[in-house]
Amino acid sequence: MCAEGLGGGLPLRGESALHEAHMALIVQKFGGTSVGSIERIQSVAARVARWQAQGHQLVVVVSAMAGETNRLIGLAEALGSHPDRRELDVVMATGEQVTIGLVAIALQTQGLKARSYMGGQVAIRTDARHGKARIDQIDAEGLLADLEQGIIPVVAGFQGVSPSGDITTLGRGGSDTTAVALAAALKADECQIYTDVDGVYTTDPRIVPEARRLDRISFEEMLELASVGAKVLQTRSVEFAGKYNVPLRVLSSFDDGPGTLITYEDAVMEAPKVSGIAYNRDEAKLTVLRIPDRPGVGAEILAPLGNAGIEVDMIVQNASRDGYTDFTFTVHRNDFPAAKTLVEPIAAKLGAEGVLCDNKVVKVSIVGVGMRSHAGVASKMFQILGAEGINMQAISTSEIKVSVLLEEKYLELAVRALHAAFGLEQAAD
């Protein structure tokens, strides 16, 4: 990546068109903080201008100015606690609409050609589920025609148009999804997500000062890191990027670092065994003790939670003994009282011994594509935690992740010990 006149400090990338001499098509997405004031909008325009000066074609996607979406929701909710979703979308979509106009004006002031587009003008066609619409199709011809003429399209994130012509919104964080979907539709060389952090880290730098920014990470690792607490990008946008193979880069809108590139596994050379340590503070654990181990028991326990809109995170069930088993699951701490109230009568009905509850637990996970091919990562994790005298209350694994449930007070100790023992402070690539 040779853009933005940063000198020679940037790592080379093998798979992108960006560091080749000729022009690349890049979708750049700037979030609410990045466009949170006139000064920051001017700074965004200056950054876009630098990229264009490098010969690249740019499509800009923006969010509402920081605080604006909450202000608009506040107005609507002042009128009624459950405002109509269609009308709420009409109100909320104005946040991004203001930003596209302002960013287009700022780009024009820099002497560039720019043109704003609301979701419906692109058109970004979605289903009709107001507030959480899914993108069905994007008509990219208009944007491509603009790019041919040297015009920078500035597209409102987070919004689209339903089959009946109504404004829809994609839900919180939906601007990332808009950017990735546009990059896919335009067959862009890269989708750059500008945020207030300069990339994806091996773990939370507030806990481990030695935490290191990853130059690259796979889509799957990113999904696991995001879903266990390192929320840099909206999960949906990462899934989308993975599905359509859009190279995704997270980078800071406040400095000029290279950020973290998210690509397919095979693009990541010499992958380390473990890429990062994630954690989630807000877990609450419920264990249904000694229930008859027969098909459908798990579903009977979880169905009422699903109906009540309570999301279940970890689910752990051991092999049964004497036809009985223990069934453990975790929920967000906010949902703990409701989950307890729902599960206790079911446990009684199923003939369980009781429900063991603990809302002071945390989840710590090691994540890495390398685990697939390298045995012994999980056992090393358990050994490290054991050496620190940390007891594991439950264990759950996926292909690229091992998660353990711990007593709350051990969180920082566990994260630091794992980060050090897996050598994450050393650059691996």
In 3D, which of 105, 115, 190 has the Cα closest to residue 148?
115
By beta-carbon proximity to a copy of itself, the closer residue of 84 and 353 is 84
Q: CB under 8 A: which stretch of 104-112, 143-151, 280-288, 325-333 binds a copy of itself?
A: 104-112
* Residue closer to a copy of itself, measured from CB, 65 or 278: 65
101 contacts 135 by C-beta, under 8 angstroms: no
93 contacts a copy of itself (rule: CB under 8 A):
yes
Neighbour count for residue 255 (Cβ, 10 Å): 9
Distance CA 383, CA 373 (A): 20
- 90 is an interface residue for a copy of itself by CB under 8 A: yes
| 165 makes contact with a copy of itself (CB under 8 A) | yes
Burial class (CB in 10 A: 0-12, 13-18, 19+), 214: buried
Per-residue contact flags (x/-) with a copy of itself for residues 60 to 79, judged by CB under 8 A = ------------x--xx-xx
Q: Which stretch binds a copy of itself (CB under 8 A): 96-104, 172-180, 360-368, 418-426?
A: 96-104
Which residue among 47, 115, 216, 249 contacts a copy of itself (CB under 8 A)? 115
Contacts of 242 (CB under 8 A, 6+ apart): 219, 220, 223, 264
Work out which of 86, 132, 332, 374 binds a copy of itself, going by CB under 8 A: 86
- Smaller CB separation from a copy of itself, 21 or 79: 79
Q: Is the CB of 6 or the CB of 90 nearer to a copy of itself?
A: 90
Shortest Cβ 236–a copy of itself spacing (Å): 25
Establish if 101 lies at the interface with a copy of itself (CB under 8 A): yes
Per-residue contact string for residues 217-236; x = within reach of a copy of itself by CB under 8 A: --------------------
> In this chain, which of 27, 106, 135, 277 binds a copy of itself, going by CB under 8 A?
106
CB of 251 to a copy of itself, least distance (A): 24
Site for a copy of itself, residues 3 to 42, rule: CB under 8 A: 38, 41-42
Query: Which of residues 16 and 97 has its CB atom nearest to a copy of itself in the complex?
Result: 97
CA distance 143 to 83: 34
CB atoms within 10 A of CB 309: 8
User: In terms of CB distance, is 93 or 200 closer to a copy of itself?
Assistant: 93
Q: Identity (one letter) of the amino acid at 225?
A: L
- Smallest Cα–Cα separation from 50: which of 157, 179, 152? 152
Q: How many residues contact a copy of itself, by CB under 8 A?
A: 37
Q: For residues 89 and 83, give the distance between their C-alpha atoms in angstroms, rounded to a whole number.
A: 10
Rounded CA gap, 211 and 48, in Å? 30
Contact between 289 and a copy of itself per CB under 8 A: no
Complex with a copy of itself: residue 149 or 373, whichever CB lies closer: 149
Bridge partner list, 396: 403
CA distance 364 to 283: 11
Q: How far is the CB of 88 from a copy of itself (least distance, A)?
A: 7
Out of 20, 67, 109, 205, point to the residue binding a copy of itself (CB under 8 A): 109
At closest approach, how far in Å is the CB of 50 from a copy of itself?
A: 18
Amino acid residing at 400:
I
Binding a copy of itself (rule: CB under 8 A), the pick from 33, 121, 227, 397 is 121
In the bound state with a copy of itself, the residue whose beta carbon lies nearer, of 101 and 304, is 101
Residues of this chain that interact with a copy of itself (CB under 8 A) are 38, 41-42, 72, 75-76, 78-80, 83-84, 86-91, 93-94, 97-98, 100-102, 104-106, 108-109, 114-116, 118, 121, 165-167
